[in-house]
Every structure is written in C-alpha cells, then in structure tokens.
Homo-oligomer: A and B are copies of this chain.
Amino acid sequence: MNKYQNQTHLLAAVDCIIFGFDGSQLKILLIHRALEPELGKWSLMGGFIQSNESSEQAAVRVLKVLTGMDGVYLEQLYTFSQPNRDPIERTLSTAYFALVDIALYEKQISDEYHAEWFPLTEMPSLIFDHESMVTMAREKLKYKAALHPLLFELLPKKFTLPQLQSLYQSVFNKVLDKRNFSRKVLSTNLLIKQPDKDKGTSKKGAFYYTLNTKNYKEDFQAFLNIIPNSHLL
C-alpha cells in the first residue's frame, strides 16, 4: 500500500533527565553536546530514534552508549514538540527521566564518558528547551515520589534510614522528624533490616536495610504518605 501523501516528515529524538543522589544532594547528569549546533554546550543525554526502535528503546540505547548505564529506572516524561525547538531541523523530542544509584557510575562516567554530575542548585544553562525538560522532570519526581516508593531507585542496594531520610529531605526540601519518618517507612514492610551497620557517618553506626523486592513490586502502586499531604506540592 502507498505511503501517506503530502505529510510532513520530521526527526524524532529522545532526551534523558538522569537523577542521582550522592548522600547529601540530588544531582543531574549532563554532557557536552557533541553535535553542531551548540557544540560544546551543556545538554541532556539524547539521540535520534532509529528506524527499528521505539522511543523507549532509543532512550535505553542512549543511556547505555553515553554513560554505560544499564537496567536503570526509566520512565517517559513528556514529548516536546514546539516547531522551532531545534533551530537546525524540526525535531520532536520525547523526554525520559532516569533514576540511578550515583555511586555505581560516578567515577566511570567522568573518566570514560566526559559527562558531569551537577547539583540541581548549580546546574548550568542548557541548550534548546532542555531546561524546561529538567523543570518538568523535577516536578514529576516530587509528585510521584510523594505517592510511590520511587526514591529507592536512587540508593544503593544496602542503605540506612538516615540516608533514606536525607534523600527524602533533599527531594522535598523539607526537614522531616526522624521518629515519624522511621515509623512510617518501616510500617510499609518494604524494608528488611540487615545485621550489619554502616559506620561511615557515626560512631554508633546505622543499620543497613535492603528492599523487600517482592513487596516493592507489588506495592509500587500503593500510596505512601511519607510526606505529609500539606507539603506535597
């Protein structure tokens, strides 16, 4: 059968907003753009969708090729489609946001891939509409993390309650009461206490926990309320 007649063909790309947490602050991974225009400026990780792949597959490929990351949390965010968003040629971009354990990639990335982690508070200006993408991704992260146990994706396999609390405090920019926090988190039955402690940040040491992955998968849709409602947005 014939192709559709007289329709505008255009390019389709993906861009990834990659969040990491280093134990005290949220960071985002950026690269120096390798293409004209805007070569050398800071940019999200992105690439064009190839003819045989979906946008999800393109996002996975881009992450793998540009950072070595594999198997990280990835979620479609929004498709940006302003006709002039790329000055060279009309390009539609579907943004994905990714959550990674920064420790797994921190060294590797700056050495091999010439990318850089920026604290969200110190992010440089970005090309095209990438700053809107980041803004939207931050909002979605807050929104979704308030309702679902999403932030564990940012932590190592073993983590402590103080680490987890510090992560929530960074994302929501709120100080939380540790007694209420630990009671709520533990009441979800998502955590399994480990026998060993992290002695890195205190003399007493803090017990490690791991995710109960079975409950995690089943309860992902469950509503958490780690954050009091009134602080949600």
Contacts and interface: CB of A to CB of B under 8 A. Distances in A.
A175 interface: no
A177 interface: no
Interface string A53-94: 111100000000000000000001011011100011111101
**Chain A, interface SS category:** loop
A112 interface: no
A11 B1 contact: no
A54 B221 CA distance: 32
Number of this chain's copies in the complex? 2
B81 A4 contact: no
A229 B51 CA distance: 43
Interface residues of A, number: 41
B83 A54 contact: yes
A10 B8 contact: no
A4 B11 contact: yes
Interface in A28-47: 35-37
Contacts of A2: 88
A7 interface: yes
A98 interface: no
A48 B4 contact: yes
A3 interface: yes
A126 interface: no
10 contacts: A1-B36, A1-B37, A1-B87, A3-B89, A51-B83, A51-B90, A54-B83, A79-B94, A221-B233, A222-B233
